[in-house]
Amino acid sequence: MVTKKILINIPTGLEARPVALLVQVASQYESSIYVECEEKKVNAKSIMGMMSLGLAAGEEVTVIAEGADEEVAMENIEKYLSSK
């Protein structure tokens, strides 16, 4: 299992379109991937779950990946969330 704190650099935050793209990135991997913010922990492959977090640019989240391809999954999710 890998865990990493990531700062969201997407200018619009995680609105509908960026959330949909994040879910697409997460869904490419076999690993279980979760995003944690404050007391909420949601499946990164769930559009509704990710939308419920209402994340804005500049917020920090904890991403947890566990499975066969966890390292690659974490790397690509970090790349997406950190991109501008």
- pTM metric for this prediction: 0.93
pLDDT digits (tens, 9 = 90+) for 3-55: 999 999 998 888 999 999 999 999 999 999 999 999 999 999 999 999 999 99
pLDDT of residue 63: 98
Contact 49, 20 (CB under 8 A): no
pLDDT digits (tens, 9 = 90+) for 53-78: 999 999 999 999 999 999 999 999 99
Written as six digits, the tokens of 67 are: 């499975």
Question: In terms of C-beta density within 10 A (0-12 exposed, 13-18 middle, 19 or more buried), how is residue 79 classed?
Answer: exposed
What CATH number did the domain enclosing 61 receive?
A: 3.30.1340.10
Q: How many structural domains does the chain have?
A: 1
pLDDT higher than 80, residue 84: no
Q: Residue 49: give the domain boundaries.
A: 2-82
